[in-house]
Structure 1
Amino acid sequence: MQTKTRWIALAALGAAALGAQAQTVRIANQGDALSMDPHSLNESLQLSVDGNVYEPLVGRNKDLSLAPILATSWKQTSPTVWRFELRKNVQFHDGKPFTADDVLFSFARTQAEGSDMKSYTNDIKEVRKVNDHAIEIETKSPFPILPDVISLVYIMSKKWCEENQATRPVDRRKGIENAASFRANGTGPYRLRERQPNVRTTFVRNGAYWGKIDGNAQEVIFTPIGNDATRVAALLSGEVDVMEPVPVQDIDRVNGSPNAKVMVGPELRTIFLGMDQSRNELLYSSVKGKNPFKDKRVRQAFYQAIDIDGIQKTVMRGASKPTGLMVGPGINGFDANLNKRLPYDPEGAKKLLADAGYPGGFEVTMNCPNDRYVNDARICQAVAANLARIGVKINLAAETKGTYFPKILRRDTSFYMLGWTPGTYDAHNALNALMACPDDKGTGQFNLGSYCSQKLDQLTRQIQSETDKAKRSAMIQEAFKVHSDDIGHLPLHQQSLAWGVAKKVDMVQLADNFMPFKWITVKK
Structure 2
Amino acid sequence: MSNCISSLTRRGFLAGSTAAGLLLPLGVSWAAEPRKGGELRIAMAGGSSDNSLDPRAFTQQMQRVVGVAVCNQLVEILPDGTLVPELAESWESTDAINWILRIRKDVLFHNGKSLDAEDVVYSVNLHRSEDSTSGAKSLFGVIAELTATGSHEVTLKLDSANAEFMRTFADYHAMIVPKGFEDWANLTGTGGYILESFEPGIRATLKRNPDYWKTDRAHVERVEITVVNDPTARVAALQSGKADIINQLDRKVAAFINRNDALELVRSPGAVHWTFICAFNAKPTDDNHIREALKYGCDRKLMLDVVMGGLGSLGNDHPISPDNPYYNGALEQRGFDPDRARFHLKEAGIETLSLELYTSDAALPEAVSLSEVYQSKAGAAGINLNVIRRPADGYWSDTWMKKPFAVSSWLNRPIDQTFSLIYGTGSAWNESYWSNERFDKLLAEGKATLDFDKRKEIYGELQKILHEEGPSVIPIFADFLDAKSIRVKGFEPSGVSDLSGDRVIERVWIEE
Q: Which residue of 1 aligns with 2:474?
A: 491
User: Which residue among 361, 367, 390 is the counterpart of 1:370?
Assistant: 361
Q: Which residue of the other structure, out of 278, 298, 306, is the alignment partner of 1:314?
A: 306
The answer to whether the 8 A contact 2:274-2:409 is kept is: yes
After superposition, the Cα gap between the structure-2 partners of 1:456 and 1:240, relative to the gap in structure 1 and judged at 3 Å, is same
2:279 paired residue among 242, 263, 276? 276
Contact residue 265 and residue 496 of structure 1 kept, 8 A: yes
How much does 1:369 deviate? Answer: 2.4
Tell me what 1:508 maps to: 492
1:399 alignment partner in structure 2: 390
Helix, strand or coil: the match of 1:97? Answer: coil
* Cα pair 1:422 1:429 within 8 Å, conserved: no
2:342 matched to which residue of 1?
350
- The one-letter code matched in structure 1 to 2:492 is V
Q: CA deviation at 1:230?
A: 1.7
Question: Any conservation in 1 of the 2:53–2:67 contact (CA below 8 Å)?
Answer: yes
> For residue 202 of structure 1, what is the aligned residue in structure 2?
205
Corresponding position of 1:155: 176
Return the offset for 1:306. 0.8
Q: Does residue 86 in structure 1 map to residue 133 in structure 2?
A: no
- 1:132-171 → structure 2 map (5 Å cutoff): 132-152=151-171, 153-159=174-180, 161=181, 166=182
Residues 432 and 379 of structure 1, relative CA distance in 2, 3 Å threshold: same
After TM superposition, give the deviation of residue 79 of structure 1 in Å: 4.2
Once the two structures are TM-superposed, the CA of residue 414 in structure 1 deviates from its matched residue by: 0.6
> What is the Cα deviation at residue 260 of structure 1?
0.7
Between 507-516 and 394-403, report the one with greater CA deviation. 394-403
Say if 1:41 and 1:117, in contact at 8 Å, map to a contact too: no
| C-alpha contact (below 8 Å) 1:42/1:117 kept by paired residues | no
- Give the structure 1 partner of residue 8 of structure 2: none
CA–CA separation in structure 2 for the residues paired with 1:94 and 1:330: 43
Structure 1 position 43, deviation (Å): 4.6
User: Could you tell me how far apart the structure 1 residues matched to 2:79 and 2:408 are?
Assistant: 26
The 1:44/1:197 distance shift into structure 2, 3 A limit, reads closer
Match of 1:474 in 2: 457
The structure-2 alpha-carbon separation of the partners of 1:215 and 1:70, relative to structure 1 and needing over 3 Å to count, comes to closer
Q: Distance in 1 between matches of 2:151 and 2:241?
A: 48
Q: Measure the CA separation in 2 of the matches of 1:422 and 1:262.
A: 21
Per the alignment, residue 176 of structure 1 pairs with none
Greater Cα shift, 56-65 or 461-470: 56-65
Query: What is the aligned partner in structure 2 of residue 15 from structure 1?
Result: none
Residue 412, structure 1, aligned to residue 396, structure 2: no
> Any idea what SS the aligned residue of 1:96 has?
coil
Query: How far off its partner does 1:78 sit?
Result: 4.4
Alignment of 1:49-448 (within 5 A): 49-111=66-128, 112-152=131-171, 153-159=174-180, 161=181, 166=182, 179-180=183-184, 182-214=185-217, 216-278=219-281, 282=282, 291-324=283-316, 325-338=318-331, 340-362=332-354, 364-408=355-399, 411-423=401-413, 426-437=414-425, 439=426, 444-448=427-431
Q: Secondary structure at the match of 1:50?
A: helix
CA deviation string 1:163-204 (max 9, x = no partner) = xxx3xxxxxxxxxxxx41x32101111111111222211111
Secondary structure of the corresponding residue to residue 187 of structure 1: coil
Q: Tell me the distance in 2 between the aligned counterparts of 1:47 and 1:257.
A: 30
Question: Conserved in 1, the CA contact under 8 Å of 2:352 and 2:384?
Answer: no
**Counterparts of 1:360 and 1:247 in 2: how far apart (Å)?**
34
**Partner letter of residue 111 of structure 2?**
D
The percent identity for this pair of structures is: 20
Structure 1: how far apart are the matches of 2:351 and 2:55?
Answer: 47
Q: 2:378 aligns to what SS in structure 1?
A: helix
Taking the aligned partners of 1:469 and 1:360, their CA distance within structure 2 comes to 45
Query: Quick one: which amino acid aligns to residue 509 of structure 1?
Result: P
Does the 8 Å contact 1:304/1:348 carry over to 2?
yes
Deviations 1:427-458 (A, max 9, x none): 21111111222x2xxxx332222222211111
For 1:332 and 1:205, how far apart are their aligned partners in 2?
39
User: Which letter maps to 1:26?
Assistant: R
Secondary structure of the 1:110 match is helix
Looking at structure 1, the residues matched to 114 and 323 of structure 2 have their Cα atoms a distance apart, in angstroms, of 37
Deviation of 1:476 (Å): 0.6
The one-letter code of the counterpart of 1:154 is M
Deviations 1:448-479 (A, max 9, x none): 22222211111100111111111111111111
How far apart in 1 are the matches of 2:272 and 2:149? 37
Contact 1:333–1:476 at 8 Å: present in 2 too?
A: yes
Rounded Cα–Cα distance in structure 2 between residues aligned with 1:392 and 1:250: 32
Letter in 2 for 1:356: A
Q: Does 1:25 align with 2:40?
A: yes
Gaps of 5+ in 1: 1-20, 167-178, 283-290
Distance 1:42 1:200, change over 3 A: closer
Task: Output the CA distance in 2 between the equivalents of 1:391 and 1:196.
Answer: 46
For residues 289 and 157 of structure 2, the distance between their equivalents in structure 1, rounded to whole angstroms, comes to 43
SS of the aligned residue for 2:110 comes to coil
Q: 1:252 to 1:78 in 2, by over 3 A?
A: closer
Distance 1:187 1:126 in 2: 25
- Counterpart of 1:463 in structure 2 is 446
Per-residue CA distance 1:30-58 (angstroms, 9 max, x = gap)? 23273222221245553233111111112
The alignment partner of 1:104 has SS state of helix
Q: TM-score of the superposition, structure 1-length normalised?
A: 0.84
1:382 aligned counterpart, secondary structure: helix
User: Contact conserved, 1:270 with 1:421, CA < 8 A, in 2?
Assistant: yes
Task: Read off the aligned partner of 2:244 and give its amino acid letter.
Answer: D
Provide closer, same or farther for how the CA distance between residues 487 and 108 of structure 1 changes in structure 2, counting only shifts above 3 A.
closer
1:131-162 deviation per Cα after TM superposition (whole angstroms, max 9, x unaligned): 11101011001121111122221111123x2x
